[in-house]
Amino acid sequence: MENEGMTQAVREAGAVELILIRHGESQGNVAATEATLAGAEVIPVPARDADVTLSGTGQDQALALGKALAGIAEELRPDAVVSSPYARARQTAEIAVETARWPVTVRTDERLRDRELGILDMLTRYGVEQRLPEEAERRRWLGKFYYRPPGGESWADVVLRLRSVLSELNSLDSGHRVMLVCHDALILLCRYVLEGMSEQELLDLAAGTTILNASLTRYVRPDGAGPWTLDSFNVADHLREQGVEVTEHAGDASVHPQ
């Protein structure tokens, strides 16, 4: 049975380029940052996670992204654009593609959704410490890669679904270029998978790196087979060049086992 986002046909060679985009700033990003700075326990998100939309700044970022993508030569444009089904990612993809005037349909793939937080959903780090101290201690002990909140996912769980998406890039007709629009954790975990990182290397990267809203990360492999090469990572120059605000909304930087 075909997945909506990717074809299942097997070919000798697959995609030659992969572009990863983090969604533009969302209303949830803004609410989470404000709640953390205020020392609040609960994040007043305006909707369930899947329905949280872009902020005004996020819409500007998606437009700027589209204008930058419009400058890509026609023969080098992605011919497949696949988005997380979450509203903030889907909006980013649709605005960017429409602005760039690319003749492609944005498809969604539920495997690209953000990490499920379970009982930690809508809580700040301080809120977890205050309301769920045993979970806070378990998270510190296990570290972010293996800690699974009740009803939620660990990063290792997310990797399992991400691996199936990335493996399908090897099943496309040779020469395809693919753009995935998703979430910050997914982009970090793509690096983990595509570069064969260890847990330690991934957590070191996550502790010191914030994936910028509407940023671009690019992998290439000219032969359409074998390992990918990281060409650029977390680039937001297209926003600065157009006078659009570059926003950093980081997750919990305490990611290592303690």
In a domain, 60, yes or no: yes
Please say if the pLDDT value at position 47 is more than 80: yes
CATH number at 88 reads: 3.40.50.1240
**pLDDT value at residue 172:** 86
pLDDT above 90 covers a percentage of the chain that reads 90
In a domain, 220, yes or no: yes
**pLDDT value at residue 37:** 95
In a domain, 183, yes or no: yes
In a domain, 202, yes or no: yes
**pLDDT value at residue 173:** 81
Question: d(Cα 248, Cα 244) in Å, to the nearest integer?
Answer: 13
In a domain, 138, yes or no: yes
Q: What are 191's two structure tokens?
A: 């690096």
Mean pLDDT across the chain, nearest whole number? 94
Q: Using 50, 70 and 90 to split pLDDT, how confident is the model at 4?
A: very low
**pLDDT value at residue 202:** 98
- Give the distance from CA 214 to its chain's centroid: 10
**pLDDT value at residue 46:** 84
Please say if the pLDDT value at position 7 is more than 70: no
Domain count, the chain: 1
In a domain, 8, yes or no: no
Please say if the pLDDT value at position 223 is more than 50: yes
Full residue range of the structural domain in which residue 212 is found: 17-241
pLDDT per position as a tens digit, 158-202:
999 999 999 999 988 888 999 999 999 999 999 999 999 999 999
pLDDT above 70 covers a percentage of the chain that reads 95
Please say if the pLDDT value at position 93 is more than 90: yes
Place of tokens 């954790």: 185
Average pLDDT over residues 27-36: 96
175: left (phi over 0), alpha (psi -120 to 50) or beta: left
Average pLDDT over residues 104-119: 98
In a domain, 247, yes or no: no
Alpha-carbon torsion (220, 108, 211, 188), positive or negative = negative
Q: Using 50, 70 and 90 to split pLDDT, how confident is the model at 56?
A: very high
**pLDDT value at residue 190:** 98
What SS3 class is residue 47?
A: coil
In a domain, 204, yes or no: yes
Q: Using 50, 70 and 90 to split pLDDT, how confident is the model at 11?
A: very low
Please say if the pLDDT value at position 104 is more than 70: yes
Average pLDDT over residues 19-29: 98
Cα distances (angstroms) measured from residue 200 to each of 21, 32, 144, 147, 205: 24, 27, 11, 14, 9
Q: Using 50, 70 and 90 to split pLDDT, how confident is the model at 253?
A: confident
pTM, two decimal places: 0.93
Please say if the pLDDT value at position 12 is more than 60: no
**pLDDT value at residue 13:** 77
* Helices 199-208 + 184-194 axis angle, to 10: 140
